[in-house]
C-alpha cells in the first residue's frame, strides 16, 4: 500500500513538473526570448502604454522580428560570433530609434531598464 501511494505521489510530481518544462521547451524552440504577446504585456504594464502606443509598439516589434528572421536566414552559417553580435546591436539601435518616435523620454528610459533586466536573465550564473 505504501509503495502504491509513493508511486502515485511520484507520478503526480512528475506531471506537475512537466507543464512548465514543456512551456520552456516551446519558448526555446522559437528561439530565446519571450513571445511577442508576452513582450507586449510586459511593455504595456512597465511603460504604461496608451492604446495608440500599444498598436505602434506592436507594429515596430513585429517588423523587427520579421526583418531579423530574414537577415539571419540569409546569413545562416556564414557569420562569425562577432558579426552576429554586431547585427544584433544594429537591430537594437534601429528598434530603439523607431520606439523613440512613439514613446516619451521617460518611457524610453524604462524600456532600456527592461532590456537590461531581460539580458541579465538570459545570462547563466557564473560558476566558480
Q: What's the number of CA atoms in the CB half-sphere (13 Å) around residue 40?
A: 16
CA dihedral 123, 54, 57, 22 (to 10 degrees): 40
| pTM for the structure as a whole | 0.65
2, three cell numbers: 505504501
Whether the predicted pLDDT of 90 surpasses 80: yes
Q: How many CB atoms lie within 10 A of CB 7?
A: 10
The C-alpha cell of 4 is what? Answer: 502504491
Instruction: Please determine, for residue 21, whether its predicted confidence score (pLDDT) is greater than 50.
Output: no
Averaged confidence pLDDT in the chain: 79
Amino acid at each position: 500500500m505504501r509503495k502504491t501511494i509513493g508511486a502515485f505521489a511520484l507520478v503526480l510530481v512528475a506531471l506537475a513538473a512537466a507543464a512548465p518544462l514543456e512551456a520552456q521547451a516551446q519558448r526555446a524552440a522559437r528561439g530565446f526570448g519571450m513571445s511577442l504577446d508576452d513582450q507586449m504585456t510586459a511593455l504595456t504594464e512597465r511603460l504604461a502604454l496608451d492604446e495608440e502606443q500599444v498598436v505602434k509598439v506592436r507594429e515596430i516589434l513585429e517588423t523587427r522580428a520579421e526583418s531579423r528572421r530574414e537577415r539571419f536566414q540569409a546569413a545562416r552559417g556564414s557569420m562569425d560570433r562577432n558579426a552576429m553580435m554586431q547585427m544584433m546591436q544594429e537591430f537594437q539601435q534601429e528598434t530603439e530609434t523607431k520606439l523613440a518616435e512613439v514613446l516619451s523620454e521617460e518611457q524610453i528610459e524604462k524600456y532600456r531598464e527592461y532590456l537590461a533586466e531581460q539580458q541579465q536573465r538570459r545570462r547563466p550564473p557564473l560558476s566558480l
